[in-house]
Chain A
Amino acid sequence: MLNQILQEIKTSKGPMSLPALSHKLGIERGALEGMLMYWVRKGRLKEDNTQASVVCKSGSCGSSCAGIENCPFIAQMPKSYSLRSKDKNNVMK
């Protein structure tokens, strides 16, 4: 089941939503999130956050900068998970 998730991500024809993956694999959404976090801890998946603290290096992007915490131009995108590079060709042994 855990390896199914990695295999599905590797072979998918495009980005997937969590509910779609849950439905496809027949895994409860809550359990699926736990499994994804398991792979993140194992270093096989990467968790991405497009948030100001990740994106903004020094807290200043010019005269209109409102600082990292209040950056108004960062859209708070949800988390996404992707395969780490070394695992893209080595998901299933």
Chain B
Amino acid sequence: MNNFVDLQSQEFKIDYGHEIEIEINRLEDLILATSSVNSMYPTRWLAIKLLETDEDITLRLRVLKGGDGLIAEARNSIDNLQKLLGDDLDVFMADRRYGWINGLVREIVQKPSISRLTLSDQIDKIVTNRILGIPIFLIAMWVVFKLTADVSAPYLDWVDGLINGPILRWCISLVNLVGLGGTWVESLVVDGIIAGVGGVLVFVPVLMFLYIALAVLEDSGYMARAAFVMDRLMHALGLHGKSFLPMLVGFGCTVPAIYATRTLENKKDRILTGLLVPFMSCGARLPVYVLFAAIFFPNNPSAVVFSMYLLGIVVAILLGILLKKTLFKDKEQSTFVMELPPYRVPTFRGVWLHTWERTGAFVRKAWTVIMATSILLWLLMSIPVSGRGEFASVDVTDSVFASVNQAIAPIFKPLGFNSWEASGALVTGFVAKEVVVSTMSQVYAVDEEVEEAVEESPTFFEDIGEILSSFVGATFDTVKSLPLIVGVNLFDAEEEDETTALMAAIQNGFESTSKGHGALAALAFMVFVLIYTPCMVAIAAERHELGMNWTWVSIIGQLVLAWLLAFIVFQGGKLLGLG
């Protein structure tokens, strides 16, 4: 190192190279000759600042006598040096400083001879490995969905029992108490609000477990690695490396995921990613998968749920590759550097707060959008068409809702689910995807459940006792469900065989429309729900970020693709003799 350290004067100078040192010396001489300046600042320091065109120093010198002259001389020096060096002078000088620091650190800092890698680095060598990274990511997601679909089941049953038992009874009693029993008010409460909102609230435990798992992954620092690994895959496939970050957000909700595309600098990349983000299965679709997986694939519901999410990722990637080679051709292939936070043990408080906020948002949605939709749906199901029946006591198949959807249903005949109930559920899914489930609860209205609830009539305190004891039972069963994550089933066959009347009604409906291929039709239905247009709020976000034209492309494209993929699943499965 050609640097001079004067221990007596406690000064040191970084050598900026011969050409720059000549100019520094020249400027120092000029500074010394400028009396208004030479006593205020160290000469070498001021000379370097002038060459770096430091804005603050420039402003200070302008108000001093002779300052403008120094600035002009510095400008000449800069011009000469940039011609000689062929690069920005301040970059060159900063580079020399960093080089000096780096060299000094190497000379004087002693590090242990053992591996300098931190624990986080050592884990990252495996987790972000080019070969192991993606399988590890898939395993992590598998565990998440096992937890979500299997382990949450006891609490799901508990909430279902609570809503269709005590809560239903209490509401009916209340309605009877005010003398409105047997009127349209009772129908609104039971068939509208409880069926609709209750049908969605049943899935609160499922979403809660999903959010717990995601919160643990986020708080541990793994999510950043997942994004890094997937971004690397995106890059390898010719897509933008940072596309997966917004997509990861899309697993929670499509709306902020669309807004997250703003982090992409290139407009083409933003639009492309915005078109692909809706294929990431948002949390609102999860109740649909869990319900249908439990009905039609009771032996392995978590595998079916997992495959839906995986399918969404695969469709997004394949479509992205196709669009990148056609509509979004771009020679530039940028890359980036990502900070990876250190791993840490998630705290209970942190995980709980994340889970509570997210579950709260879901429940808020249930009490607002879903309730409003349920009431509207009840209204449409209560109005008789063609004068058959009376308001609120018409057979649901003779209602306005059924009539409208009977006109749409034939579109889905090749997909195996051409009932007005299924098509109606898909239509209402434009409001919010959870409404698909609440609509199913309403259109497949099962009087048996209501009659059972009313017939039982325990006292209020008996109900409270039953609620608490069944909650404790559900908690024990949840703990017993944990080994299901690794495939160990501690439940008896009898304990598992709990098909509700609603589940039976949906199963019969799909078996009927698919002529005995109910499981295939259900799979096709789930695929349709995965791919077709997201909710209206997401469409509004697309319009805002992508523009109206691309939004229409997105809507129509998703509907067509959903139909095609569901068709392939149903018809292809029949040809192969599956389901």
Min distance, Cβ B470 to any Cβ of chain A, angstroms: 29
CB proximity of A85 to chain B, nearest CB, Å: 6
Q: Which residues of A contact B334 (CB under 8 A)?
A: 82-83, 88
Residues of A within 8 A of B260 (CB): 50, 54-55, 74
Q: How far is the CB of A15 from chain B (nearest CB, A)?
A: 5
Chain B residues near A14 (CB-CB < 8 A): 231-232, 235-236, 241, 335
- CB neighbours of B224 from chain A (8 A): 77-78
The verdict on B338 contacting chain A, using a C-beta distance below 8 Å, is yes
What is the interface of chain B mostly: helix, strand, loop, or mixed? helix
Quick check: A85 and B266 within 8 Å, CB to CB? yes
Q: Given A1-B99, A31-B105, A52-B256, are A17 and B124 neighbors across the interface (CB < 8 Å)? A: yes
- The range of chain A's interface size is 35 or more
A18 touches B256 (CB 8 A): no
**Contact at B537–A1, with CB atoms within 8 Å?**
no
Q: Shortest beta-carbon distance, B263 to chain A, in Å?
A: 5
Instruction: Kindly provide the distance from the CB of B27 to the nearest chain A CB, expressed in whole angstroms.
Output: 23
Task: Report B-chain residues with C-beta under 8 Å of the C-beta of A17.
Answer: 124, 128, 228, 337-340
> Bound complex: CA of A70 vs CA of B360, how far in Å?
11
Judge whether B12 is part of the interface by a CB distance below 8 angstroms: no
What are the residues of chain A within 8 A of B161 when measuring CB–CB?
none
Of B249, B266, B360, the most chain A CB neighbours within 10 A belong to B249
Residues of A within 8 A of B365 (CB): 62-64
A3 touches B218 (CB 8 A): no
Smallest Cβ distance from B44 to chain A, in angstroms? 21
Q: Would B338 and A80 count as touching, CB distance under 8 A?
A: yes
Assess the A48–B124 pair: CB atoms within 8 A.
no
Residue of A nearest to B215 (CB): A72
Assembled-state Cα–Cα distance A9/B101 (Å): 22
Q: Is B98 a contact of A73 with CB atoms below 8 Å?
A: no
Residues on A with C-beta less than 8 A from B266 are 85
Given contacts A31-B105, A50-B249, contact A81 B337 (CB under 8 A): yes
- Residues of B contacting A56 in the complex (Cβ-Cβ under 8 angstroms): 256, 259
Residue total for B at the interface (Cβ-Cβ under 8 A): 64
| In the complex, chain A residues whose CB is within 8 Å of the CB of B358 | 72-73
Contacts of A27 in B (CB 8 A): 102
Kindly state the separation between the CA atoms of A38 and B105 in the bound complex, as whole angstroms.
19
Q: Are A81 and B364 in contact (CB under 8 A)?
A: no
Given contacts A75-B248, A75-B252, contact A1 B337 (CB under 8 A): no
Residues of B within 8 A of A55 (CB): 249, 256, 259-260, 262-263
Given contacts A50-B249, A93-B86, are A18 and B102 in contact (CB under 8 A)? no
Q: Mark A36-79, 1 if CB is under 8 A from B, else 0.
A: 10100010001011101011110001111110001111111111
What is the distance, in angstroms, from B327's C-beta to the closest C-beta of chain A? 20
Question: Are A88 and B102 interface neighbours, CB within 8 A?
Answer: no
B265 at the interface (CB under 8 A from A): yes
B357 within 8 A of A: yes
Could you tell me if A82 and B242 are in contact, using CB atoms closer than 8 angstroms?
yes
Q: Which residues of B contact A80 (CB under 8 A)?
A: 242, 336-339
Q: Which of B95, B236, B241, B242 contacts A1 (CB 8 A)?
A: B95
B151 within 8 A of A: no
> B339–A79 contact, CB under 8 A?
yes
Q: Which residues of B contact A66 (CB under 8 A)?
A: 357, 360-361
Residues of B within 8 A of A36 (CB): 337
Closest A residue, CB atoms, query B364: A64
Known contacts: A66-B357, A72-B357, A93-B86. The answer to whether A18 contacts B253 by CB under 8 A is no
| Contact indicator A15/B336 (Cβ below 8 Å) | yes
Name the residue on A nearest B232 (C-beta). A14
In the complex, chain B residues 361-382 whose Cβ is within 8 Å of any chain A Cβ: 361-362, 364-365, 368-369
Check A18 against B340 for contact (C-beta < 8 Å). Answer: yes
Measured in the bound complex, the distance between the Cα atoms of B335 and A48 in whole Å is 13
> Which chain A residue lies CB-closest to B227?
A77
Most buried by B among A12, A15, A46, A66: A15
Least distance between B184 CB and chain A CB atoms (Å): 26
Give A2 to B91 CA distance when docked, in angstroms.
Answer: 8
Residues of B within 8 A of A35 (CB): 98
> Is the Cβ of B341 less than 8 Å from the Cβ of A78?
yes
Minimum CB distance partner of B250 in chain A: A73
Q: Does B498 contact A (CB under 8 A)?
A: no
Give chain A nearest CB distance to B336 CB in angstroms.
4
CB distance from A44 to the nearest CB of B (A): 9
Which chain B residues in 424-469 approach chain A with CB under 8 Å? none
CA distance A16 to B435 in the complex (A): 42
A15 to B241, Cβ gap below 8 A? yes
- The verdict on B6 contacting chain A, using a C-beta distance below 8 Å, is no
Q: Is B94 an interface residue (CB 8 A)?
A: yes
Chain A residues near B86 (CB-CB < 8 A): 93
Enumerate B336-355 residues with CB–CB distance to A below 8 Å. Answer: 336-341, 354
Question: How far is it, in angstroms, between the C-alpha of A38 and the C-alpha of B253 when the chains are bound?
Answer: 35
Chain A residues within an 8 Å CB radius of B263: 48-50, 54-55
Contacts of A18 in B (CB 8 A): 337-340
Closest to A81 in B: B337
Q: In the complex the two chains form, is B357's CB within 8 Å of A64's CB?
A: no
A46 & B255 in contact (Cβ 8 Å cutoff): no
Contact A15 B255, beta carbon cutoff 8 Å:
no
Nearest B residue to A49 by beta-carbon distance?
Answer: B263
A78 and B201 CA atoms in complex are apart in Å by 34
B231 & A74 in contact (Cβ 8 Å cutoff): no
Interface string of A16-33 (1 = CB under 8 A from B): 111101000001100101
The CA of A2 and the CA of B98, in the complex, are separated in Å by 8
Residues of the B chain whose Cβ atoms lie less than 8 Å from the Cβ of A21 = 337
Which residues of the other chain, B, contact A93 by a CB distance below 8 angstroms?
86-87
8 A-B contacts (beta carbon < 8 Å): A2-B95, A13-B335, A15-B228, A15-B242, A31-B98, A48-B263, A73-B253, A77-B224
Beyond A77-B224, A81-B338, 8 additional contacts (C-beta under 8 Å) are: A31-B101, A42-B88, A50-B245, A72-B361, A78-B339, A78-B341, A80-B338, A85-B266
